Structure 1
Amino acid sequence: MSVTQINTAKVSVVQDFKEITKMRLALSVVFSSVAGYLLGVETISWSTLLLLAIGGYFMVGASNAFNQIIERDLDKLMDRTKNRPIPSGRMSVNTAFIIATLFTIAGITVLYIINPQTAMFGAISIFIYVSLYTPLKTKTPLSVFVGAIPGAIPFMLGWVAATDDFGIEPGTLFMVQFFWQFPHFWAIGWFLYDDYKKGGFFMLPTGKKDQGTATQVIIYTVWTVVTSLIPVFGVTGKLYLTPVSGVIILVLGLILLKSAIRLYKVRDTKTAKQLMLMSVLYITLLQVIYVADKFIRVWI
């Protein structure tokens, strides 16, 4: 075997590892967890922050590896997933299972070092994603509601890692990310509708790209924006947002709502993709604003 072939094989192994653990998604989860930690902590512990990032990555990686094992036959049917490591034959089920198991053990262990509550929520996240959300995807559109629970845990998880306490503050962070997932995932379900249909996945609330689905996208977008603004009113304990930051988030929320209303009017693939991208921008900027608001207040 030539040096070029060896290097190509190494690159392929690394790419497959990144794909089986969905590295890009995992990094976005780590970002949410770190944001939650910075919001909850009084004095930053860099070692805890590192453990949270590593544990969060393991947690998401485990969930995705188990998910791809379970859905390997369905993944073969869809264009976006047929080249994943298992359906393409580049990785065996046993190898994926070993990765998933090791990631589960490592993730819960690392999070437990931070504190037991953080590990508990991490374990709950993996269990719901793998044992409930994954099998429900081919049964009912309600799977999105179930999947929104583990999807909303990371933002909250950071606060629990910082404080070893679950109260109204992490509960609020959970609700923000919980409601946000509906317009985000329904937008994805909209523009990937035909591909999802090949795999037998029911992702849209009415099962169709229709007015009913578009209406629910608007409703949950409104809930997302409203929930995001609750900390402005000083009713969420130590989680507080200044009116200036509240106005910025409201403007972002109105832009997100405009995208949702446009989907209702146009109802095409391009508009759904635009809504998805806007939803990612919204949650990212929201987390940055929440954290910046806190530290600017501390410095002032």
Structure 2
Amino acid sequence: MSDVATHTIAVSPWQDFKEITKMRLSISVVFSSVAGYFLGTSEIDWAIVAMLAVGGYFMVGASNAYNQVLERDLDALMDRTKNRPVASGRMSVKTALGIAILFTILGLATLFYINPQTAMFGGISIFMYVLLYTPLKTKTPLSVFVGAFPGAIPFMLGWVAATNDFGIEPGTLFMIQFFWQFPHFWAIGWFLFDDYKKGGFFMLPTGKRDKGTAVQVILYTVWTILISLVPAFGVTGGLFLSPIAAIIVGGLGVFMLYWAVKLYQKRDAATAKKLMLSSVTYITLLQIVFVVDKFLR
């Protein structure tokens, strides 16, 4: 009975929709964009927040749908992805492309209604993710560097949505999320190394789970912490972090750095997974701390 029920859920249209748009990832991206909006706005307009959330979801969902169409044959080779709608054959390429194109149009239109710059950065994100990052994943570890650009856009996108301006403040938010992605994705690439290898993906900087990769994980974790604390020094315009908030962010950074050092020491999949979880905790709580700190001042 339970096996049949599980199978039914796995192939339900709703489940396939969640898979093709990577709903959990998309929601986390929306969260990041909304946090950026709260940081940039002087007065919260909930209609803009709603449009940013919906438009952001459409854009991320479109990117993921395009990605699953392009990588369907490789996805079928990996345990982690073989049950995705297109890779498993449950959803046709035509249907997936239709979803991707529809979401692209709706996403760009929604973000454009907020302001043109927001739509422009949303479009750049899709372009870089689909046409640059996706094909490079099977060719070079530098794909993570390329993918960090569209991945870093959401946090700063919210600020641009609030101000219709790109300056030092959204640039700083971009850099925080840009550097954060390296230890985050290298941790994933480490504990999923064997599965990624089946699909021919090159995710780790040295191509191996070795000391060289672990050292780079530590270095980029340190860079992430440092750039996250820059707003505390009053050099990032309207983006500011109070001393207490900076101490909290620094503490979160030490927690993440602890697992990065542990990975260097142990170099095993279990520690890499803990680093990945600590990185998700770091970026989520950092965004909350930045927003709460602004509204408490």
TM-score in terms of structure 1 length: 0.96
Matched letter for residue 192 of structure 2: L
Matched letter for residue 176 of structure 1: I
In the TM superposition, 1:138-157 aligns within 5 A as: 138-157=138-157
Distance in 1 between the 2:25 and 2:87 partners?
Answer: 20
Distance in 2 between the 1:17 and 1:273 partners?
Answer: 27
Distance in 2 between the 1:76 and 1:56 partners?
Answer: 28
Matched letter for residue 287 of structure 2: Q
Distance in 2 between the 1:62 and 1:216 partners?
Answer: 31
Query: Match of 1:244?
Result: 244
TM-fit CA distance, 1:87: 1.3
What residue ranges of structure 1 are gaps of 5+ in the alignment? none
Distance in 2 between the 1:116 and 1:228 partners?
Answer: 28
Query: Match of 1:194?
Result: 194
In the TM superposition, 1:24-173 aligns within 5 A as: 24-173=24-173
Distance in 2 between the 1:9 and 1:266 partners?
Answer: 39
Aligned partner of residue 138 in structure 2, secondary structure? coil
What residue ranges of structure 2 are gaps of 5+ in the alignment? none
Aligned partner of residue 155 in structure 1, secondary structure? helix
Aligned partner of residue 87 in structure 1, secondary structure? helix
Matched letter for residue 171 of structure 2: G
Query: Match of 2:217?
Result: 217
Distance in 2 between the 1:235 and 1:53 partners?
Answer: 29
Deviations along 1:95-150, one digit per CA (max 9) or x if unpaired, are 00000000000000000000000000000000000000000000000000000000
Deviations along 1:38-97, one digit per CA (max 9) or x if unpaired, are 000001000000000000000000000000000000001000000000111110000000
TM-fit CA distance, 1:9: 7.7
How many residue pairs get aligned? The number is 292
Distance in 2 between the 1:162 and 1:109 partners?
Answer: 17
In the TM superposition, 1:1-12 aligns within 5 A as: 8=8, 12=12
Matched letter for residue 17 of structure 2: F
In the TM superposition, 1:263-274 aligns within 5 A as: 263-274=263-274
Distance in 2 between the 1:259 and 1:282 partners?
Answer: 12
Distance in 1 between the 2:41 and 2:238 partners?
Answer: 10
Distance in 2 between the 1:124 and 1:155 partners?
Answer: 14
Distance in 1 between the 2:43 and 2:269 partners?
Answer: 46
Query: Match of 1:278?
Result: 278
Distance in 2 between the 1:48 and 1:224 partners?
Answer: 29
In the TM superposition, 1:224-235 aligns within 5 A as: 224-235=224-235
TM-fit CA distance, 1:255: 1.1
Distance in 2 between the 1:183 and 1:117 partners?
Answer: 29
Distance in 1 between the 2:141 and 2:197 partners?
Answer: 12
* Percent of paired sites with the same residue: 73
Matched letter for residue 190 of structure 2: W
Distance in 2 between the 1:101 and 1:202 partners?
Answer: 28
TM-fit CA distance, 1:218: 0.2
Distance in 1 between the 2:126 and 2:261 partners?
Answer: 34
Query: Match of 1:22?
Result: 22
TM-fit CA distance, 1:233: 0.1
